[in-house]
Amino acid sequence: MAANRLLVPLSDTVTVRQTVGYAVQSGLEEADSLECHLVVALPYDGDVPEGDQQLEDAEGLLSRARNWVEEDAGDADVTIETATIGADEYLFGPRDYAEIFDAYADEHGIDRVIIDPEYQPGVTAQLLQPLERELERIGLAYDEAPVERSARHSRLAGGTEDFDRLFATFLISYGFYLVLGDPTYWFDLLTGAAVAGITAISLARVTFTVPLDRVQSPIRVVRFVFYIPYLLWEIVKANIAVSAVILRPSMPIEPSLTRVNTRVRSGLPLTALANSITLTPGTLTVRANNQQLLVHTLIPAARDDLFDGGLEKGIRFVFYGRESAAIPSPRERDDAEIVGGEEL
Amino acid sequence: MIEPIALQSTVGTVRFWAIVLLLGLGVFFTLVSTVGVLRLPDIYARAHTASQTDTLGAGFALAGVAVAFGWQHAAVYTVLLLFFVFITNPTAAHAIARSAAETGVEPVLTEENAAEPEASAERDVPTETDGETQ
């Protein structure tokens, strides 16, 4: 009998181990030899800030999964293939995933896809049901691995995490609606509640990709409010310095390209820092890659400010609190350097 | 909302001059930014000064508008406007700089970097070169 070829898409979930186990077991039940294709689908192309990190995670997951298969297979005749797919394109929705799985299946003569019920490759919402629908449409045979979920809430009933996201999205959109409208007029209050409700239900999971913390998240918002005047002051100072240089007839600019290794997490904190740097005239973020910012600076004063890391401290204060803000400047910890144009 | 009558008669003298000052500063920074875009050597340097229009130029102008409106609902809109300008401006500036980098536009850099061992391919600052591709 021909070998049974299975495709197992992996993502880092609590049930991935069980899924691999089920794939091996069910594959060996149907045929005496099994060809197990373990793949990780990368949601973004390798070029985004966290691309390298994701690729590394994917490789780690694949090598762990390979060990699991070997462990489960024992003496049975099992061939293992691993691959990362989708690295050269953006995978946007379940349809894209279904299509790359189908392409892979065609190429390797896959008989069946084993899906992890918690499969969640990207940062966005859970994918299982729409993915199954798309696989059905394409006509690719699939099988949902029966797994025991530990302490995960079921798919429909939301837990507190979901409630927090819904509530926060509702509050933000309702507040925005009322600022634009009239908070004392009953019609605006009513329509605003309806609109905010729809927004919250449809966009809560997209708005907040990381779970909110009931204590920390509001505190961060308050800290951010304190950060704004500081940022404005920095912007005014930098504007005056740059204006003075531009208006001088000799125009003493010293453009240089610098690289700064920041001590803030990727995602929102890094975005906030990169945007703050760009917002200040004299410094311009050209590239952001795994906490490394490539910053173009126009005048030495702006470069010195950047290397002193005032904005970095501000962002650390916003996201991690006062104690975390007191870190050495990028210059002191040797994380800032002037680089040549070929770094681009 | 606002009748087309002379502004000075509707607001006090201090407020009137505050509005004039704020609008004047807004115009000044926008002008500086325009001069900068014309004088600076390449696309990266120009992106720096283009953001001046959005930050202080628009900032002071909108502050003037807010003072002119006084304590009413429309003043809140100007703050919101400024908020969105402050979010979109760095995004656009970064997008321009990044796409320039991706298409291989080389930045004009000072010769100070030539002192560094690996940066041998640096050029001097030609003041009137366009930063576009070679």
DSSP string over A135-151: HHHHT--EEE---PPSS
Rg for chain A, CA atoms, rounded: 25
* Pairs of residues, one from chain A and one from chain B, whose beta carbons lie less than 8 Å apart: 131
Asked if B52 lies within 8 A of A242 by C-beta distance, the reply is yes
Instruction: Indicate if the alpha-carbon torsion angle A110, A112, A116, A122 is positive or negative.
Output: positive
**Residue B48: closest C-alpha in chain A:** A281
On the question of pLDDT at B134 being above 50, the answer is no
User: What is the residue whose two structure tokens read 């994380």?
Assistant: A335
* Bigger pLDDT: A248 vs A86: A248
Residues A21, A64: Cα–Cα separation, whole Å:
12
- Rounded to an integer, the average pLDDT of A251-258 is 83
- Locate all alpha helices (DSSP H) within chain B, ordered by sequence: 7-10, 13-39, 43-52, 58-69, 73-102
Among A71, A67, A70, A78, which Cα is nearest to A29's? A78
* Residue of chain A with shortest Cα separation from B42: A255
Residue A31 or A158, more confident: A31
What tens digit of pLDDT does each residue of B70-119 get? 877 788 888 888 888 888 888 888 888 888 888 877 777 775 544 444 33
pLDDT of residue B4: 57
Please state whether beta strands A112-115 and A4-9 pair in parallel, antiparallel, or not at all (unpaired): parallel
Residues of chain A contacting B39 with CB distance shorter than 8 Å? 246, 251
C-beta contacts of A317-326 below 8 A and 24+ residues apart: A317/A223, A317/A226, A317/A227, A318/A220, A318/A223, A318/A224, A318/A227, A318/A269, A318/A272, A319/A220, A319/A223, A319/A264, A319/A265, A319/A268, A319/A269, A319/A272, A321/A219, A321/A223
Contact A5, A49 (CB under 8 A): no
Domain ranges of chain B: 7-89
Chain A residues in contact with B91 (beta carbon < 8 A): 275
pLDDT in tens, B20-72: 999 999 999 899 888 888 888 888 888 888 877 778 888 899 989 888 888 77
- Closest approach of B39 to chain A, Cα-based (Å): 8
Question: Any idea which fold A4-144 has?
Answer: Rossmann fold (3.40.50)
Q: Do B56 and A239 touch (CB under 8 A)?
A: yes
pLDDT digits (tens, 9 = 90+) for A2-12: 567 888 888 77
Residue A333, Cβ neighbours under 10 Å: how many? 12
Place of tokens 């940066």: B119
Average pLDDT over residues A238-250: 86
Q: Do B122 and A340 touch (CB under 8 A)?
A: yes
ipTM above 0.90, yes or no: no
Instruction: Kindly determine whether residue B76 and residue A179, on different chains, have CB atoms separated by under 8 Å.
Output: yes
pLDDT tens string A119-174: 776 655 556 667 777 788 887 888 777 776 654 444 444 567 778 888 888 999 99
Are the Cβ atoms of A253 and B45 closer than 8 angstroms? Answer: yes
- Residue A194 has what pLDDT? 93
Q: For tokens 């990362």, what's the residue?
A: A84
Q: Which residue of A has its CA nearest to B78?
A: A180
Check if the beta carbon of residue A108 is closer than 8 Å to that of residue A81. Answer: yes
For range A183-207, the mean pLDDT = 88
What residues of chain A have any CB closer than 8 angstroms to a CB in chain B? 179-180, 182, 235-236, 239, 242-243, 246-247, 251, 253-257, 274-279, 281-287, 294, 296, 298, 338-342, 344
Cα distance between residue A284 and residue B83, in whole Å:
19
Domain range list for chain A: 4-144, 160-207, 216-343
pLDDT value at position B24? 93
Residue pair A18/A148 in contact (Cβ under 8 Å)? The answer is: yes
Helix axis angle for A94-108 and A128-138, nearest 10°, is: 50
Average pLDDT of every residue of chain B = 76
Of the listed ranges A107-111, A210-214, A297-301, the least confidently predicted one is: A210-214
Q: Do B106 and A344 touch (CB under 8 A)?
A: yes
B-chain residue closest to A233, CA distance: B56
Query: Residue A42: which pLDDT band, with cuts at 50, 70 and 90?
Result: confident
Q: A64-97: per-residue pLDDT in tens?
A: 888 888 887 777 778 888 888 777 666 767 777 7
Identify the closest residue of chain B to A271 by CA–CA distance: B91
Strand order in the sheet with A142-144: A77-85, A33-41, A4-9, A112-115, A142-144
Chain centroid offset of residue A263 CA: 17
